[in-house]
Structure 1
Amino acid sequence: MPNSMRMTTWRSIALTVVAVLATALLSPAAHAAPHDGPAPRESRPVYSYTNAVRESVWVDTGLDGDGDGHSDRVAADIVRPREAALQGRKVPVIMDASPYYSCCGRGNESQLKTYDADGRVVQMPLFYDNYFVPRGYAVVGVDLAGTNRSDGCVDVGGRFDVQSAKAVVDWLNGRARAYTTRTGSTPVKAGWTDGKTGMIGKSWDGTIANGVAATGVEGLKTIVPISAISSWYDYYFAQGAPLYGSGPDWLSDAVESDAAHAHCAAVQKKLVDGAPRTGDWTPLWTERDYVKDAAKVRASVFLVHGMQDLNVRTKNFGQWWDALAKNGVQRKIWLSQTGHVDPFDYRRGAWVDTLHRWFDHELLGYRNGVDREPMADIERRPDQWVTSAVWPPRGTATATLRPAPGTRAGVGTLGLRPAHGTETFTDDPKLSETDWAARIDTATPDKAGFVTGPLRRDLRLSGSSEVTVRATSTTTSAHLSAVLVDLGPDTIRDYADAAEGITTLADRTCWGASTAGDSACYKETAAKTTQVGFTVLSRGWADLGHHTPDGKGRPLVPGKAYTLTLDLAPTDHVVPRGHRLALIVAGTDKDLIDPPSTTPTLTLDLAHTSARVPLAGGAAAFAGATAGSTPSATAVTPSAPASRPLDGVRAQRPAHPLPGQ
């Protein structure tokens, strides 16, 4: 793709010329339905973006969130090809339903919706309309209930949020009512569309796509959730351990409109009351759990996530992926080394091309082969990608790894054989996973560490791990962290930098047609990398008081042993030959979970502690990689830890992130 302003200017001019010539010269027969004549393989930019229809409708949701006695209406701004409508050709829809169109912005450049004097949308954030409208799609931007120009209240992933977008899908398929104004009575129908809808969006937007798909709504053909939540409980808590010092009420307050501020106090109170800081599972979380409804999903799913996303943490994609697989949903996945970043900003050319072919296949029915390509694309090193025919790859099996006391005090071993003994550590909320990993070969009172010897061959982890511990606490409360670490030097994306693995450049490239009010040209980016001495590849957290399966926490009895299984984040990572694999169990992970109310000392019973890790080749691969090796600090780790954390993490995510910015 072009990489300079001069080249992108010519590209933009070329696209405009194509669109104008197509409008002037192509006959209606040239825009025949996709299956008339030879089967097409790619939609082309033959429609004018400048002359596109721009309109707004307000769709009746059937709910009264703000309690004013009237059904809430949500605003849907539409950009669609005018020529297709004049020819009587119905077009599919690409929809992004978002709470961020007026408060916070979309994409790397924080774009907002803008409007003309008549209230028609001028700028639709992101490149979707610029690129896809000339190719015969309509693009619809929906303001979630309680945001921008929509009625109602923000309920953070609840039925108001989900119904905001589902009602629009229903309207596009002739099952719901819409009006030309927010309060008027003039109805409007979507006669210009065939009803086939694809939803896309990053974080909160992608979360709504997950939620709408989980309703099984007819007409939703595909979703593309990027860094999206699948269960809101797992955004705020990790098995009872609080991830942030706030709840969904803070997030609602951050995005709602002035009208919602004035009328939605009752909804805010429900968000506070239903999400206690105890971490207990409540009916509020049941309503916001889309995983339980994965069997209802009819749409295909193209899932994208950063494996170092510490905002929408990766358990969200792992449990959703597994549930979709269990229910036979057609799916595709991209996994990057970034944090909370859109693929448009780390793999732009390949992303636009793949997304184009995906929508062509799923919404237009084009036989372009995208469904026969490898299921997974994984970023192995910055800007270096590999594929897997399926994910996790065939031959992946769970290996049960056992920690054991080591020959050096406080530094244990990790192998396949059961062991006995104990390890003790004291929670220190001032320390994090990077502090623990940097001192893995030193006995410290804040962690229990277990390492393999230098590997004789590469070892690939693909999927979700879990760590089971039997632990005794000296106090009535305790939080636990479990971390898997690749011990060895590498160059990775600097996911803990403010931009989470990318650098924004000055040059722009163009992706579609532009108007005076809506440019298709965006600043280029490059991978921001850092040299590391180790890589944290998976982590998980839990409150020991939530050891029972009922989702309720209880005070601990000091001196009593409790068994708990921590869910670790899914990943796809290769520990190279010569590196070592480490398991660390400790207390509070600074900036990633909040500390407990006490400062416990915990003792692990190693005979009942283990890690179940998905390995390519299973236990046999682990045995082959570790045969003859002994745990040693003389592998390829640095001779001494630097004062700066060795995995490039300078500061963890902010305490109050917005899950879509």
Structure 2
Amino acid sequence: MHTSRLTRTAFACISLVTCLVAGRSIATAKEPAKPVFKDGEAQVVKAFEDSDYWIRHDLWVETEFDSDGDDKLDRMHVSVTRPRQTESEGLKLPVVYNSSPYFAGTGAKGDEYFWNPRQELGEDPPERKHFDAVERTGMRPIISKRHEKDWVPRGYIVVHSSSPGTGLSQGCPTVGGDNESLAPKAVIDWLCGRADGFTTPDGNEKVTADWCTGKVGMTGTSYNGTIPLAAATTGVDGLEAIIPVAPNTSYYHYYRSNGLVRHPYGYLGEDIDYLYDFIHSGNEARREYCDCTVRDQEMLTQFDRVNGDYNDFWAGRDYLNDLEPLKAAVLMAHAFNDWNVVPEHSVRIYEALKKKGVPTQAFFHQGGHGGPPPMTMMNRWFTRYLHGVENGVEKDPRAWIVREGDKQDKPTSYPDYPHPDASPVTFYLSGGAPERGSLSTQATQDAGTETLVDNFSFDGASLAQAEWTEHRLIYTTPKFKEPIHLSGTPRITIKLASSKPVANLSVWLVSLPWNNDKNAKITDNIITRGWADPQNRNSMTESEPLEPGTFYEVSFDLQPDDQVIPKGQQIGLMILSSDKDFTLHPTPGTELTIDLGGTSVSLPIVGGKEAFEKAL
């Protein structure tokens, strides 16, 4: 059948219109996905949200070190999770990176594997029992899924890696050694095109990260929060921002305190060699070498569990000593009631970074170990420094603190931490042992001495509540008629004499009366704590035995805090010797005699002495 020229022309026009309409529909449907920002924050993008369409793969990144002695550069196991658009549309995105020694499983727990705290001070400890090798867990290509749901839908790629000597990463774990800083540096170098990645741990087939913009942020909690800081201390280009949550910034400050052997809360008897065993899930073929060189020849010969002194071994695992190259923006997060990684870990770094001049903020809460900043804070931080959106985050208040009773995601902003209006107020002691003495801003003439008898079998909470006991000394302010706001780091000076050449010294600052409600937590009444070895009164690196009966002056900081003491409460300063949950447990009976006239405590009070007197 024949069609007319007009009909053919009309058909052609209709077809052309149909194609144009269809083409516009296809173009609209395939409009490239990209990150979206609102109010200075990256928003969830529907095209990035469906995890079924995420691309997952793993690889090994070659480092610049050989820590396991096999004459080959160690390679770190890395996994990547990214939106499919980074493949189908050539989209480049920044990276949120999380590294850990825990991803492939950990070793045995239990008191039988810890050091026995029942040890006489100044003597060699009894040997510790080692557990069997850690059995690696997990399946390729996924190392971990942490942070994926938070960041991939918001326009980020999430990368994980196992730290040296753990999982499928080569090398030896060193618990704070240089390779634990250089390993994440290598991964960042690979993400930025400066290091090699391979499809296998021993092969030569390379993998590139051409989907990365060259902007990387890191975050994590506890050990996983230490690694971002460790990476940042290398000054590696491309690491733009980090959010360390409850990071261990010094292994000395984790396992020692002012010359004293002290354990993290809940892990009595743990020391750095146990943590090494606990995370060592790596290559069986190099395990014997790592155990011998790292644990036995380095840790066990240098960690000084006898005296607790600071030395080169500990200095090499203190990131405060390595901050010079750091240039990443840092949002610190910590809890004032974290007695595992105590709050000084973040405060000491935060204060140093402020002086250094890098962009820095701090988030603190009143809970225990862990607890990241609210999502909106983290989002603004990464949006500004990874996506380059000028949201003014660097002009936000510098400190954010969750007040007592408030929700974790509702912090109160402050110009800084400590509160700029806080100033030290000195308190002096008046006797009252074995009951309670008094604490006031007026020094007492001829205050005399009081004596306590060490006995580790009584825990601090029991001693604080006791009406009468010889195992502690306690001094209290009057009850407050108005709240008192403490913000900063208390410092104590104690003039003491010991009946033995070595003794534990522990100090608690408590809020009384004690809350014995069934739903109460012990931290409801603990303001802060501190520990010291009187033998280290003059030096952190060298112990000097005490001459029994001779008085010595010992000064040290308690843990930083920011707390509002409510009206109706009073502040109590408690001095004891062994702290059951933290220190070694020597045979009871050591006597500490305190010269009250030579002892004082300085408390950082918002509003200073005037605010304290007004509260009374």
Both proteins in one fold, TM over 0.5:
yes
1:143 equivalenced with 2:162 (yes/no): yes
Structure 1 residues 158-557: aligned runs within 5 Å? 158-244=177-263, 245-257=269-281, 258-259=283-284, 260-265=286-291, 266-269=293-296, 270-277=298-305, 278-343=307-372, 351-384=374-407, 385-389=410-414, 390-406=416-432, 410-419=435-444, 420-439=447-466, 442-488=467-513, 529-530=519-520, 535-557=525-547
Alpha-carbon spacing, 1:183–1:25, altered in 2? closer, same or farther (3 Å): same
Match of 2:141 in 1: 120
Deviations 1:377-417 (A, max 9, x none): 333334445413222222111222222225x7642211112
Which structure carries more relative contact order (alpha carbon 8 Å, separation 6+)?
1
State which drifts further: 320-329 or 67-76. Answer: 320-329
Please tell me whether the aligned partners of residues 225 and 303 of structure 1 are also in contact (alpha carbons under 8 angstroms).
Answer: yes
Q: What CA distance in whole angstroms lies between the structure 1 residues aligned with 2:386 and 2:203?
A: 32
Residue number among 83, 86, 97 corresponding to 2:85 in the alignment: 83
Q: Radius of gyration: which is bigger?
A: 2
Match of 1:27 in 2: 31
1:574 equivalenced with 2:598 (yes/no): no
1:601 equivalenced with 2:563 (yes/no): no
Q: What CA distance in whole angstroms lies between the structure 2 residues aligned with 1:548 and 1:395?
A: 32
Look up the SS of the partner of 1:582 in the other structure: strand
Residue number among 34, 50, 53 corresponding to 2:52 in the alignment: 50
Look up the SS of the partner of 2:240 in the other structure: strand
Q: What CA distance in whole angstroms lies between the structure 2 residues aligned with 1:84 and 1:624?
A: 62
Aligned pairs, number: 547
Please tell me whether the aligned partners of residues 66 and 152 of structure 1 are also in contact (alpha carbons under 8 angstroms).
Answer: yes
Unaligned 5+ segments in structure 1 are 1-20, 106-111, 344-349, 495-528, 627-661
TM-score (norm 1): 0.77
Structure 1 residue 619: deviation in Å? 2.2
Alpha-carbon spacing, 1:293–1:319, altered in 2? closer, same or farther (3 Å): same
State which drifts further: 321-330 or 474-483. Answer: 321-330
Please tell me whether the aligned partners of residues 318 and 569 of structure 1 are also in contact (alpha carbons under 8 angstroms).
Answer: no
Q: What CA distance in whole angstroms lies between the structure 2 residues aligned with 1:69 and 1:474?
A: 55
Q: What CA distance in whole angstroms lies between the structure 2 residues aligned with 1:31 and 1:409?
A: 69
Identify, as 1 or 2, the structure richer in strand. 1
Match of 1:649 in 2: none
Please tell me whether the aligned partners of residues 34 and 155 of structure 2 are also in contact (alpha carbons under 8 angstroms).
Answer: no
Structure 1 residue 478: deviation in Å? 0.6
Please tell me whether the aligned partners of residues 478 and 599 of structure 1 are also in contact (alpha carbons under 8 angstroms).
Answer: no
Amino acid paired to 1:363: L
Alpha-carbon spacing, 1:40–1:593, altered in 2? closer, same or farther (3 Å): closer
Structure 1 residue 366: deviation in Å? 2.3
Alpha-carbon spacing, 1:196–1:167, altered in 2? closer, same or farther (3 Å): same
Match of 2:71 in 1: 69
Amino acid paired to 1:569: Q
Amino acid paired to 2:152: V
Structure 1 residue 144: deviation in Å? 0.2
TM-score (norm 2): 0.83
Q: What CA distance in whole angstroms lies between the structure 2 residues aligned with 1:22 and 1:360?
A: 31
Please tell me whether the aligned partners of residues 489 and 533 of structure 1 are also in contact (alpha carbons under 8 angstroms).
Answer: no
Structure 1 residue 310: deviation in Å? 1.8
Structure 1 residues 649-660: aligned runs within 5 Å? none
Please tell me whether the aligned partners of residues 482 and 566 of structure 1 are also in contact (alpha carbons under 8 angstroms).
Answer: no
Structure 1 residue 302: deviation in Å? 1.7
Please tell me whether the aligned partners of residues 473 and 603 of structure 1 are also in contact (alpha carbons under 8 angstroms).
Answer: yes
Please tell me whether the aligned partners of residues 260 and 309 of structure 2 are also in contact (alpha carbons under 8 angstroms).
Answer: no
Residue number among 94, 106, 125 corresponding to 2:96 in the alignment: 94
Alpha-carbon spacing, 1:32–1:99, altered in 2? closer, same or farther (3 Å): closer
Look up the SS of the partner of 1:217 in the other structure: coil
Q: What CA distance in whole angstroms lies between the structure 2 residues aligned with 1:337 and 1:22?
A: 53
Amino acid paired to 1:125: K
Please tell me whether the aligned partners of residues 113 and 124 of structure 1 are also in contact (alpha carbons under 8 angstroms).
Answer: no
Unaligned 5+ segments in structure 2 are 1-24, 108-135, 264-268
Alpha-carbon spacing, 1:85–1:208, altered in 2? closer, same or farther (3 Å): same
Please tell me whether the aligned partners of residues 43 and 360 of structure 1 are also in contact (alpha carbons under 8 angstroms).
Answer: no
Please tell me whether the aligned partners of residues 241 and 279 of structure 1 are also in contact (alpha carbons under 8 angstroms).
Answer: yes
Structure 1 residue 533: deviation in Å? 11
Deviations 1:610-635 (A, max 9, x none): 11211111222223223xxxxxxxxx
Match of 2:127 in 1: none
Please tell me whether the aligned partners of residues 453 and 588 of structure 2 are also in contact (alpha carbons under 8 angstroms).
Answer: no
Q: What CA distance in whole angstroms lies between the structure 2 residues aligned with 1:32 and 1:460?
A: 43
Deviations 1:315-362 (A, max 9, x none): 21222222222223322222223222334xxxxxx8333322322222
Alpha-carbon spacing, 1:75–1:603, altered in 2? closer, same or farther (3 Å): same
Please tell me whether the aligned partners of residues 434 and 473 of structure 2 are also in contact (alpha carbons under 8 angstroms).
Answer: no
State which drifts further: 475-484 or 76-85. Answer: 76-85
Structure 1 residue 307: deviation in Å? 1.8
Structure 1 residue 221: deviation in Å? 1.3
Structure 1 residue 91: deviation in Å? 1.2
Deviations 1:17-67 (A, max 9, x none): xxxx99982513x53898xxx997533323253222212121122111110
Please tell me whether the aligned partners of residues 41 and 367 of structure 1 are also in contact (alpha carbons under 8 angstroms).
Answer: no
Please tell me whether the aligned partners of residues 41 and 379 of structure 2 are also in contact (alpha carbons under 8 angstroms).
Answer: no
Look up the SS of the partner of 1:57 in the other structure: strand
Structure 1 residue 575: deviation in Å? 0.9
